[in-house]
Amino acid sequence: MGAAASIGAVNPLLREVLPALGLEPGYVAQRLDVRPGNALAAALPVGTLATGAVAAAALAGLALRSVPPGSQAPLPADARAHVDPRQVAVAFRNDQLQTVHGVREAGFAPLSGFFEARDGWVRTHANYPHHLDRLVRALGLPSSATREDAAAAIATRAAQDVEDAVTRDHGIAVRVRSLREWMEGEPAAAVDTHPLLAVTRLGHAPSRPVPERPRVLDLTRVIAGPVATRTLAYLGCDVLRVDSPRMPELTAAHLETDAGKRSTLLDLHDEHARRRFHELLDGADVLVTGYRPGALDAYGLEPRRLAQSHPQVVHAALSAWTPDGPWGDRRGFDSIVQAATGIALLESPDGSRPRALPAQALDHATGYLLAAGILAALRHRGATGGTWHVAAHLARTAHWLLRTDAVDVPAQPVRDPGPWLVRARTEHGTVVQARPAFELDGGRDRFAWVGKRWGGDEARWADVPQVSS
């Protein structure tokens, strides 16, 4: 059996999401070329997770671009998607490889990471200034606190007390749990009520042909959501990311995940900005949200309300813990989910000291799955109409990784990532970063651009004339 056929038959993640994507195994056999191998060394089958998620997005993109009128650059009739595990690994590890003007920025801030408490371990996240402020306040430390200060404060407290105190202050910290403890708890039971990828028809709406360049409003931050929308941009969508000017993005994160997208600033607290956002929504094909469940409801962006007010807009939602259960409204990131669900202890080198996966694989895999679901929903909308909702969650991706019986082939980490990196001159300096994680015959082999200024675009669609000053 050739590589193209074997991925559909063997990769369990891809096999699981094919029904949600409306794709048959035969389509996989004909259209997917995946190299054998694995370049992500871990105790858990991260290579299988990563390759399967990327393959899902690649196939969904190929299927959409085969629908007339298709994209600006129609693909050959026999076009195939190509997935190389080495290229996937480099893309998943871009935060560790990207350089700006020759400098590689640390992926985590000093007060982010594992800390030993009196009776176990905690994992904190303090990359953003507001999260850092909440963390040090909950620990009773000054804003100038060092990592050593945080370690000393945490060492005197129980791990659960640290989690509770930081969470009460709307910061981000979690006690490191074993797999058994996590799976026996109520948060895990809530996660299990959700599929790995949901592509759901919520109601009736007229069919709408696939636009030449689908319009995507991007309300996501950090990695998973931006990876999803970056993938849509790579496949020809006009992606407009919308951020609040009150919450600046980290430059390295923006450069990594906003390639090929445009970026604008709108403060949804302001009535005029909110009206402009809804004007953009009137012309959109897709809205992607990555904030905590309920966080955007005050702006008229609650999923059921959107289905009534904008029935032809595909709404895709991403969250850390799923939208219900006792942790439904908690903040979370890949590293935090790894620590809470037992992954960090399963990856431990000694059975005691927690360790992270070789990449932020939950973020990236969930992002590619979400992109795949959006692409499928656009295809379904064109074929049968309807109002479509897409959902994926970091914790549900973690459950797949923890429960699968897949076993990775022995990993051969990429020693020289050069063949899968690109260099671009930008106003930030020379940026070196990973290529897209997959390629389509007749398509691009890189993102349309890198290094646009965060918030530097007008709040308009690309095919709408710019307003003269």
Work out the pLDDT band at 8, boundaries 50, 70, 90.
Answer: very low
Per-residue confidence band for 291, with pLDDT thresholds at 50, 70 and 90: confident
Mean pLDDT over residues 338-344, rounded? 98
The predicted pLDDT at position 377 comes to 97
Q: Is the pLDDT of residue 290 over 80?
A: yes
Q: Which two tokens stand for residue 286?
A: 């897709």
What is the pLDDT averaged over residues 379-386?
Answer: 94
Structurally, at CATH architecture level, domain 108-424+445-463 sits in 3-Layer(aba) Sandwich (3.40)
Higher-pLDDT residue of 65, 285: 285
Start-to-end CA distance of the chain, whole Å, equals 61
- What does the pLDDT look like over 29-73, one tens digit per residue? 999 999 999 999 999 999 999 999 999 999 999 999 887 655 445
Residue 112: strand, helix, or coil: coil
Q: Annotate 152-218 with three-state secondary structure.
A: HHHHCCCHHHHHHHHHHCCCCEEECCCHHHHHCCHHHHHHCCCCCCEEEEEECCCCCCCCCCCEEEE
**Domain ranges in the chain?**
3-96, 108-424+445-463
Q: How far is residue 264 CA from its own chain's centroid?
A: 20
Q: What is the mean pLDDT of the chain?
A: 92
CA distance 122 to 114: 6
| Percent of the chain's residues with pLDDT above 90 | 78
Q: What is the pLDDT of residue 6?
A: 46
